[in-house]
Amino acid sequence: MSTKQSKLETFKQQSHHLRGSIADALQNEANGFAEAEKQLLKFHGTYQQDDRDQRTGDRRAKKSVSFMVRSRIPGGVLTADQYLAHDELAGRYANGTLRITTRQGLQLHGVLKGDLKPTIADINQTLITTLGACGDVVRNVMCCPAPRHGRVAAQVAAITDAVAALTAPRTRAYHEIWLDEEKVFDGAQAAAPSEPLYGDAYLPRKFKLAIAYAGDNCVDVYAQDLGLIAIAHGDTLLGFNVLAGGGLGMTHKKPETFPRLGDPIGFATPAQVEAVVAAIVGIHRDFGDRANRKHARLKYIIHDRGLEWFKQELSERLDFELAPFAPQPPFDLDLHLGWQEQGDGHWYLGISVENGRIQDTAAAQLRSGLREVISRFRPDVHLTPNHDILLTDLHLADRPAIDALLTQYGIAQADELSNVQLYAMACPALPTCGLALAESERVMPTVIDELETAVAGIGLAQEKFTVRMTGCPNGCARPYVADLAFVGRSADKYLVLVGGNQNGTQLNQPFADLVPLEELVSSVLPLFVLFRDTRYPNEPFGDFCNRVGVEKLQEFAAAYPQEGVYA
């Protein structure tokens, strides 16, 4: 491997465990930070952004700089007070919206530099941190958000928290810069002077970890650097099937970059899980490409060196042998929406949030309505990997009052929405994401409305399929495992992919490239016609596309008369 290092590696190594000059830069009059500090800020949970709608093309012009602040919330679990604190900060310091991420975190957008410190400090007052929500570390540890009960659920929740603590950065820099050395967030990272897991240079790139329950792949466990699948027998948690090497980021026209699903590695008992996590993170730390960040994910280590090499290296780092991958039932995707029993006498309510954006609009006052329900009924709040929200531990007797409030605020419940809407996701993209090549969140509602009408027009209104859009190929909305995906290529043009599936166990394939935004739905409608007419019984759309193959789909679409697309 090359001994060269990227500029970001130098920034990290010279930062004195993520301190850099952030504290001094917070005091100056500039509206943003220099490049080194911008990169280090990511580890602290914030990205410097500018409003690309206001760019003038004049490089000398002063940009409209603001910051995105992301909270690290293991498993997406919040108390009512923690959620309400974020909501209050969204109004006081941010742009009046909250964004649920596809990793079960919360983002505030539009925070100004002068408000960064009070925003982060106030988040910490709720015993939630932003440290490690971004940057070259293990990102927010995901776990199925359904409020399950019993011994198995309690153990899985405890392991989620333990893994999150194990992989949290331990630098004191965060507390020095944002909390004035006050120890508010109580955890391992608040005490240690160095980074025993990460070292001085942290990881070569981000590392994603998720925990799924057997049979329920709402976390897209195969798309993670490290996936753990809980295997239980009755009320006993036997352990976890371990997957490694998944990851969905790629770069257009660079075939050496690609999405990849995780490989089965073995089976770990609950007592072994933390050691397995530390060892696999250590392999990424020690062998990851620190010269080329586009080649720096764990998936490329396994691809380049081989799965058997990886297993051998892992074995040498453990003082026990992993058991063989355990049998598990087929996966499905449960969105956990609507009113559902928890199993302990309480109920939870899953509410669909379009593209994860909690805001008030003329059509629906989602932010105000959620604030009212959560303030009045005090549920715990679980954020989902499909950027929806679950209100948990509710009493059935309160259902009429809660339903009435939702109606009052114009908030639709899951049974009032189409499957196309429910199974759709989009990343934020423009105007704030610096990597976006095309629109995503802002145009996805229009695309979904058109697609919803189109599939209903050919008799497929009840069909379930995932559709995801991103403004660039980095894959933040996990497009490469979707039945149907639109990935930004340039201004208002997209790569269209088909052939993933709802349960997240197969990758899709490129179907058409550089498709204009206004032609996205018409470009894929012939496929739905062919699917309707020639599918196998109960065959999902993505599996159908995968079986038929891209070439035949392209031939059919090219020959299909556009005026007959709704026939």
Q: What is the mean pLDDT of residues 405-410?
A: 98
**CA separation for the pair 39, 52 (Å, rounded):** 19
Statement to judge: residues 11 and 118 lie in one domain? yes
Number of domains in the chain: 4
Selection from 168, 177, 184 nearest residue 122 by Cα: 184
- Flag whether 381 is in a domain: yes
Statement to judge: residues 356 and 325 lie in one domain? no
CATH number at residue 294: 3.30.413.10
DSSP reduced 3-state for 481: helix
Q: Is pLDDT of 2 > 70?
A: no
Statement to judge: residues 542 and 433 lie in one domain? yes
| Percent of residues, the chain, with pLDDT higher than 70 | 95
Of the residues 319, 334, 349, the one at which a domain ends = 334
Statement to judge: residues 247 and 387 lie in one domain? no
When mean pLDDT is compared across 29-38, 62-71, 144-153, 538-547, the lowest value belongs to: 62-71
Q: Is pLDDT of 60 > 70?
A: no
Q: Is pLDDT of 356 > 50?
A: yes
Name the pLDDT band for 470 (thresholds 50, 70, 90): very high
- Flag whether 3 is in a domain: yes
Statement to judge: residues 329 and 351 lie in one domain? no
Q: What is the mean pLDDT of residues 377-387?
A: 98
Statement to judge: residues 29 and 145 lie in one domain? no
Statement to judge: residues 505 and 534 lie in one domain? yes
Of the residues 294, 310, 334, the one at which a domain ends = 334
Q: What is the mean pLDDT of residues 351-370?
A: 98
Statement to judge: residues 473 and 361 lie in one domain? no
Query: What does the pLDDT look like over 427-443, one tens digit per residue?
Result: 999 998 989 999 999 99
Its pTM surpasses 0.75: yes
- Flag whether 291 is in a domain: yes
Name the pLDDT band for 15 (thresholds 50, 70, 90): very high
- Flag whether 535 is in a domain: yes
Statement to judge: residues 164 and 129 lie in one domain? no
159 CB neighbour count, 10 Å cutoff: 21
- Flag whether 179 is in a domain: no
- Flag whether 33 is in a domain: yes
Of the residues 361, 380, 415, the one at which a domain ends = 415
CATH number at residue 378: 3.90.480.10
359 CB neighbour count, 10 Å cutoff: 17
Q: Which domain holds residue 92?
A: 1-134
CATH number at residue 47: 3.90.480.20
Statement to judge: residues 514 and 501 lie in one domain? yes
Query: What does the pLDDT look like over 174-233, one tens digit per residue?
Result: 999 999 875 444 444 444 458 999 999 999 999 999 999 999 999 999 999 999 999 999
Query: What does the pLDDT look like over 321-340, one tens digit per residue?
Result: 999 999 999 999 999 999 99
β-pairing verdict for 380-383 and 77-78: antiparallel
Q: Quick one: pLDDT at residue 201?
A: 96
Query: What does the pLDDT look like over 160-190, one tens digit per residue?
Result: 999 999 999 999 999 999 998 754 444 444 4
Return the C-alpha torsion angle 278, 107, 130, 298, nearest 10: 20
- 3-state SS of 420-454 is HHHCEEECCCCCCCCCCCCCCCCCHHHHHHHHHHH
Statement to judge: residues 304 and 234 lie in one domain? yes
- Flag whether 196 is in a domain: no
- Flag whether 105 is in a domain: yes
Q: What is the mean pLDDT of the chain?
A: 94
Q: Quick one: pLDDT at residue 565?
A: 53
Statement to judge: residues 394 and 280 lie in one domain? no
Is residue 498 within 8 Å of residue 527, measured between CB atoms? Answer: yes
